[in-house]
Structure formats: C-alpha cells, structure tokens
Amino acid sequence: QIAEFEAKRSITFVIEQKFDMAFSGIIEVRDIEYEHSQAELSFWLVVDKWGHGYMSEALKPMIQFGFEELELNRLYAHHMMRNPASGKVLQRNGFVQEGLLRQRVRKWGGFEDVALWAMLKREWCDALAHQVIGANS
C-alpha cells in the first residue's frame, strides 16, 4: 500500500469511533486513474459495527474528497451480491448500480458475483444543490 500511496494511486483511511477512537474499519480511494479521472471506493467495517450508519458517515467525506480534492469525475465501488447491505449504503449515498460482474472474485471456496456501482461528479453536485435548496425552502 505504501508504493501505491507514493504513486498517488491509493489513499487509505482508518474508521474510528468518535467517542473512544476504537478501530472500526477501513475506507480507501484506490486504483486512482488520473488520465480517466476515476477511482474505486473500497470499504469494510468490523462486524459488530454493521447497521449503525458508520459507513454512510465515513462515505460522505470520502466522496467529497474524491470529487473536490482529487478532482475526479467518477467514483465507483463493488460489493459481493451476498452482501446487499453494502449496496444499500452505496444507494443511500447517491451511487447508481451500473451492472453485475459475474464470478469476478474468488472467495469462500468459489467465485462470487459482484455488483458495480458508480457516481459521477455532476450527480454529486446536483445532489448537493438539491440538499441546499431543500434546506432553504
């Protein structure tokens, strides 16, 4: 990961609890392709932290970081089909499902199908504008 970071192709953050700084997971922007202005968002949480909204809380600043600081046009993410909760987190945070990658990863003794999700910068900007408009009306 250090070589990836030095090449500015991967940036990893630790997710910690606000109240006690307990380790809760990882979130990263990786496979950054500056030529094509896109990168993958990858994340995972410790099992006992699932279902508490922590990943949505961590995703929001990472999305902002990708579009504003890295000036990317597209962020994408994958999740295994047997983990629909990750898809719900992505959907709630403005990602659109683009497709299904059949048997993309080898895990748990077999091949797993993976859903592909993405968000474009203009979609993120539009969502922000609607939040501001909604807050003022």
The pLDDT tens digits along the chain (137 residues) read 555 555 678 898 888 777 887 888 899 999 999 999 999 999 988 777 777 777 888 899 999 999 999 999 999 999 999 999 999 999 999 999 999 999 999 998 999 999 999 999 999 999 988 875 444 44
Tally the domains of the chain.
1
CA 99 to chain centre: 16
Distance CA 123, CA 128 (A): 9
- CA dist 75 → 14, 62, 82, 122, 128 (Å): 19, 10, 22, 11, 16
Closest by Cα among 3, 48, 56, 57 to 24: 48
Q: Specify the pLDDT at position 137.
A: 42
SS3 25: strand
Q: Specify the pLDDT at position 38.
A: 98
Q: Specify the pLDDT at position 132.
A: 55
- CATH code, domain carrying 9: 3.40.630.30
Residue 83's domain comprises: 2-136
Contact 120, 80 (CB under 8 A): no
Whole-model pTM? 0.83
